[in-house]
Each structure stands twice: as structure tokens, then as C-alpha cells.
Structure 1
């Protein structure tokens, strides 16, 4: 794997990691990315466009098409769209974080997720290891706030939560540390776009 093909990050930088199939990417992804940069004290965000989600049975659109669509949509010098999971051969979040920590010594990574993911986080592979290795930033969708706050992960790690303005310190905090931020969310999802037939790969205009 050639280093020139990988995203760049300097020692001491705080990089938020937003993983997913991005099938397709949409304005909601852009919205939570910009919010995370502002709310969690991040220097950069990487969109980790995955080859496929181990928890989903249906294969996504071809990786090259999803990457191209994401790069057209997310235009911000602080954000990098990458297929690094395909390059490292990792499938699960814990594996990806391990690989990135080995590739980027001295870079501080923060895992980003929606509140719906926090609600089911305890079903992820090595989820406790993730919580105890990197800070986690959670951005709340209106309909998922209560279930996320009552989730096993939220209850077990309740003492590690950074509340209010302290969430801005997340990028410099030592794990376990997590923050939960409410914000107005765009009511759009990749599954809805696919169901409506508005996603046919790299050449299609997305909301």
C-alpha cells in the first residue's frame, strides 16, 4: 500500500472518522460532518467509504461510484473522502481504527456516529475496545435521542460523557470519552433515496 494514496494527517491533529457505505452520500452526511467539525474540536474529518457493511446483507453500489459521488458532494478542504478501508482490507470499525493508529502514529482519531448507531453500538464487533481506545462523538437525530441515551453503551459509559460545552474538548480527551450533541437533522437517508429510485451511481445528482 503506497503512502501517497492515503489521506494526509500530521502528528497532533484531531481527525474525525465518519464511516459508512454512503450508498448514496447525501446532504445529511454533509450536515453532520460540518456540525462535528464545529462541535467536537476537530481539525479534519475523513469519510471512510466502506467496501461493504458487515451488518447488511445487500451489496452497495460499486465503490468507485460511491467515492465519486461523495467527492462531488462534500466540497470542503477540511474533509477527505477515502477508500482506506478497501486499501487496508479492514471491514469492522475496530479493525479500521487499529490500522489507522498504526499508519498514523501521533494523530488523534475521534469516531463519529449518529444517535441511531449508538442505540445499537453494543452489537458492534469489539465495541468496548472502541469506546476505550478513541473518543466517540454522537450526533442526534430527533427520533433517536431517547433510545440512544438509554442504550447499553450510554449507560455503561455514562461517567465518561462530556456534557455541554465540554464536548468541544472531545478531540483532546483521553478515552473512554464521548459526547452527545443534539442538532437539527436533515430528514433524508440513503435508504429513502434508494427506495425512491433517485440513486443510480456516480452520474446521478443527489440532494
Structure 2
């Protein structure tokens, strides 16, 4: 895990990063600025249990690609979940809470994940472990009203004007942050790559 000092405010941005892209960078920039974070960790997961792994790049390749995207020294790329055999977010957050006393962690996720958050293992437990910052994504702006998690924890939502209070708030606490949105997605990038590969004609032998 990246080095931290007691009292730091740290964002936890988990995902497959398959592949990482500028949209991930944008979410990180917004979280760092609006939440007043000291660091944000890109937690490159071994694989999302809710997703198909057939086109999942090797973990080492995703970590390398993520590091190549990062320029801000406050963004730390880590794959500690694989090292410690942590598969579910609930397990990861419990592990971090036990091993990092005095650190103010915030779970950071895109609004596109909010709609399916109730399908995550022990999602209520996740919401009660650390505060959650939901960053707006195209097509998901109204999820803070309609998502099951948003409804269950509606009275614990902080107005985004108070976002800087979130890292030190007691869970459950969450906020929805509007801002610039990127249309990029890892799924779309993979599909575009696959389409280009399938569209290529096989090379023929060339005369010397």
C-alpha cells in the first residue's frame, strides 16, 4: 500500500482499469480538488466479480498502463488487493480500516456505478465503513435520486457544497459531485480495439 501519515485524507478509487483512460484521470482530479484530498489511490483490482473476465488484461499490464497515465504525484497506483487476496470491496475497506488507523479514507466512484451499487456484496456495510463520493458521469446524473443506495441513505447525503467535509464525516455519509464529464469508458475502448483488430486483413507474403 502507498505510504500515508496519520490525519491524511485519502480517496480510494477502485476498478479494473481495463484499460485506464483520461476519464479516470478526470475523476481523480475532481475528487482531489473538491474533497481536498492528500492522495487518491487507483486500486487496480484482480477482477470485478460482477463482470466477465474473458477480455481482462493481465494485472501487471493494467498497473503499468495506469502508471503511464498518471502525472499528479498525489495519484498512487496500487494492486495490494491481489497481494492480500482481497476480492470484494467490503473486504478491502475492512482491511484498510484495520491497518490504517488515523487515516480519513473516502470511497470514490463514478455515478455509473451508483445504479448497480446495491448488487455489490455487503453494499450497506460498505456505505457504513467509509464516506462515499460519487462523481458525475454521462447518462448517470440523476442516479443520485433514483439509485437504491441513494434512496436508502438519502438522509446521509451531504450537499456537494459541503464536499470538503466528507473525508472527516462519520459513515454513512456521501455526496454527489457534478463537474466536467468524460464520455470515455474502458468498455468502449475495448470494443473499438476489437473492431479494429477484426477489421484488419491478414498480411500476405511479400516479394523481396
TM over 0.5: yes
1:118–1:148 contact (8 Å) kept in structure 2: yes
CA distance in 1, matches of 2:100, 2:84: 13
Q: Which residue, 7, 21, 24 being the options, matches 1:26?
A: 21
Structure with higher Rg: it is 2
Stretches of 4+ moved more than 6 A in 1? none
SS, match of residue 10 in structure 2: strand
Q: CA RMSD in A?
A: 1.4
Shift of 1:152: 1.0
Question: Hey, what's the Cα distance between the residues in 2 that align with 1:142 and 1:188?
Answer: 9
Residue 101 of structure 1: how far off its partner (Å) = 1.5
Correspondence for 2:104 = 108
TM-score normalised by length of structure 1: 0.90
Q: Which residues in structure 2 correspond to 1:18-167 (within 5 Å)?
A: 18-59=13-54, 60-167=56-163
Higher relative contact order (CA 8 A, sep 6+): 1
TM-score by length of 2: 0.90
Q: Aligned equivalents of 2:83 and 2:52: distance in 1?
A: 22
* Secondary structure of 2:134's aligned partner: strand
Unaligned runs of 5+ in 2: 195-208
C-alpha displacement of 1:68: 0.4
| Farther off after superposition, 29-38 or 144-153 | 144-153
How many residue pairs get matched?
194
